[in-house]
Structure 1
Amino acid sequence: MVLDMKILVTGAAGFIGSHIVEYLVQRGDDVTVLDNLKTGKKENLAKINDKINFVNGDIRDYKLLEKLVNDTTSVFHEAALASVPQSFNMKDEYFDVNVNGTENIFKLAKEYGFKIVYASSSSVYGNPKKIPIKENDDRKPINPYAQTKLEDEYLAKKYSEIGVSVIGLRYFNVFGRRQSKEYAGVIKLFLERIKQKMSPKINGDGLQTRDFVHIDDVVRANILAMESNIKHEFFNVGTGNSISILDLANVVINASGLSLKPIHGPELSGDIRASLADTTLIRKLLNWEPKMRLDDWLTKIISEKDFQDI
């Protein structure tokens, strides 16, 4: 099935949003993109800038959103403030953007009838009692950012009950090119240090585990969710495999060929010990499965001259 429709992508100049836009443009879709460029970067869209309608704006601007969606049938909603440490100091701003801004889109979907696929987060689970984590497991956020994502899920369920088609994707640890330094995951941070021939720095003992999923697989999950006949659901988007941060550091070092050893810093406050997605539901209902292996990608990236464009 090909989407023969006009599409809006919010947060389109960010890491995940820009990759979704690239995919849509490459297959010939009519794409309008919205970003306030507070954390997103216009250069993330440089290769396709002449093929999109770029709007510099905020998801809290209801009237602007209404102008953009009045003939739209699909919205990929990626716009959010997403820094866990920052969220402790900016609780009101995070709620305003992530919850009120998201509800604007849900309200407009009720009025105009478009389908939404939006970015939720594995952070809604908090510190899981057991792994792998299933979609119906307890959701107990442990930071303000995660709490806003849980509030969005409550809203999604509420609006689905009055006819809005909305699917939430609970991203686990997404990696790939173009992650911003502000919101960089551990892989980007390790690569930046390796690039300078410095040892990867680990917070704590490094035995905490994470499920890393590649950006291309995340984009595919978004597309399959939008193209599906499913009206409302939440899906884990991970690989079903995890790696400790210590092992990850050693994989990066080995791929670089440098004679280094990881160094350890203090444990981060509120850092969870284990994260691993149960991907049974997304595999079954969307016929999705991850294709990019973490070690293969790392080897490819590190082999490139000067690690360009990480």
Structure 2
Amino acid sequence: MIIVTGAAGFIGSCLISKLNQENFNFIIAVDDFSSPEKERNLTGKRIQERVHREEFFAWLDQNYQEVEFLFHIGARTDTTEFDWQVFEHLNLNYSKTIWQKCIDYQIPLVYASSAATYGLGELGYDDNESLIPQLKPLNPYGESKNEFDIWALEQERKPFFWAGLKFFNVYGPNEYHKERMASVIFHAYNQICQTGEMRLFRSHHPDFRDGEQMRDFVYVKDVVDVCSFLMHHRRNSGIYNLGSGKARTFLDLANNTFRAMGRESQINFVDTPADIRDKYQYYTQANMGKLRSIGYTKHFCTLEEGITDYVQNYLLPGKTL
């Protein structure tokens, strides 16, 4: 059995698809399953059992001998949530219990961290574990992810294999339910469908022209490929960046979305809201050298390749992965 927490969500459901493609069909899907909208993410997938996240630890105590691997993808990911107790329960304490169970039951673990831990990137975007305690996330979500990374590194007892993945700006199928937290590509597609144009934030930084703010956008198919690699590799435990390794501008993103939809670009700029201007990231780019150094050689989708596949094979037909 392979466990996937956050199974009905964006990355978790895409990971189950990847596992099914590799003929792993005894999947334990862990989530709260309270959102009817997310139900379509699991339609057609081969799942052995669904377990509510609040019942999961009791289930694991009874069934651990059959578990081969655990992907802990579930988390509260809303960067606009400021109730620390939510993050303390779901992102910190829940993850600590999973970590302890993986030690007790000898289960290898991959868990989701986040590039939100890097804050404004004052120390760069290198997954150097010695720098992690010095990072300054910009919101409680990023703080919760960084606190768990710090806690994990401090532990004397660790799972025999474990990896934390700092996801950068992930986009792709099955994110439709994320509303404000969905990728810019998803929002671009819907804006273009509804209005024929795309709105981008104006730059308020002297070093960046309008639309030339840059992010590391990584396609979800690449994310789940890396998860699969680590499940088979099971060596070189630690915390790894997971981006494309190439920063691209929002203009690149918008123009490629128009192109994939077969439309002429029509882009308008609006002021970045005043309440987020001082916390706005103008540049992110994952240093992917550490993952490459342990043997991951697969090509990461370019922004052009990822957007074309996402728009033409999933958004236009209304499909999930």
2:282 is equivalent to residue 273 of structure 1:
yes
**How far 1:84 moved relative to its partner?**
0.3
Unaligned runs of 5+ in 1: 1-5
Question: In the TM superposition, what whole-angstrom CA distance separates every residue of 1:212-250 from its partner, at most 9, and x where no partner exists?
Answer: 111111111111112224252111111111111133222
Corresponding position of 2:23: 28
Name the structure 2 match of 1:177: 173
Distance in 1 between residues matched to 2:311 and 2:217, nearest whole Å:
17
Residue 47 (structure 2) aligns with: 52
- Distance in 2 between residues matched to 1:60 and 1:139, nearest whole Å: 34
1:213 aligns to what SS in structure 2?
strand
Change (3 A) 1:111 1:121: same
Q: Report the equivalent of 2:108.
A: 115
CA distance in 1, matches of 2:242, 2:110: 13
Task: Give 5+ residue unaligned stretches, structure 2.
Answer: 204-210
Which shows bigger deviation, 37-46 or 209-218? 37-46
**Partner secondary structure for residue 8 of structure 1:** strand
More off after superposition, 74-83 vs 283-292? 283-292
1:1-310 equivalences in 2 (<5 Å): 6-29=1-24, 30-38=26-34, 41-48=38-45, 51-58=46-53, 62-85=57-80, 87-88=81-82, 90-129=83-122, 131=124, 133-136=125-128, 137=131, 138-159=134-155, 161-164=156-159, 165-179=161-175, 180-182=177-179, 183-205=181-203, 206-230=211-235, 232-268=237-273, 269=276, 270-303=279-312, 306-309=316-319
Aligned CA RMSD, in angstroms, stands at 2.3
How far 1:307 sits from its partner (Å)? Answer: 4.7
Separation in 1, partners of 2:142, 2:31: 21
Residue 70 of structure 1, CA deviation = 4.4
* Structure 2: distance between partners of 1:216 and 1:247: 20
Count of residue correspondences: 299
CA distance in 2, matches of 1:111, 1:174: 32
Identity of counterpart residues, as a percentage? Answer: 27
Secondary structure class of the residue paired with 1:102: helix
* TM-score, scaled relative to structure 1: 0.88
> What SS does the aligned partner of 1:55 have?
strand
Find the residue that maps to 2:240 and give its secondary structure: strand
CA pair 280-140 structure 1, distance change in 2 beyond 3 A: same
Tell me: CA distance 1:69–1:196, structure 2 relative to 1, closer, same or farther (3 Å).
farther
Q: What amino acid sits opposite 1:144 in the alignment?
A: P
What is the CA-CA distance between 1:59 and the residue it aligns to? 5.2
Question: 1 CA distance for matches of 2:310 and 2:232?
Answer: 31
Query: Which amino acid is 1:235 matched to?
Result: Y
Shift of 1:61: 5.5
The CA distance in 1 between the partners of 2:73 and 2:260, in whole Å, is: 32
Inter-partner Cα distance in structure 2 for 1:176 and 1:213: 9
Aligned residue for 1:134, secondary structure, equals coil
Q: Provide closer, same or farther for how the CA distance between residues 148 and 130 of structure 1 changes in structure 2, counting only shifts above 3 A.
A: closer
Q: Secondary structure at the match of 1:196?
A: helix
1:134-193, Cα deviation, whole Å (9 max, x unpaired): 11155221100001101121232234x313232101111111111133330111110111
**AA aligned opposite 1:117:** V
Given the superposition, is the C-alpha separation of residues 144 and 288 from structure 1 closer, same or farther in structure 2, using an over 3 Å criterion?
farther
User: CA contact under 8 A between 2:236 and 2:294: conserved in structure 1?
Assistant: no
Q: For the Cα contact (< 8 Å) 2:121–2:284, is it kept in 1? A: yes
Structure 2 CA distance for partners of 1:53 and 1:158, relative to 1, 3 Å: farther
Indicate if the aligned counterparts of 1:35 and 1:57 stay in contact, CA closer than 8 A: yes
CA–CA separation in structure 2 for the residues paired with 1:290 and 1:13: 27
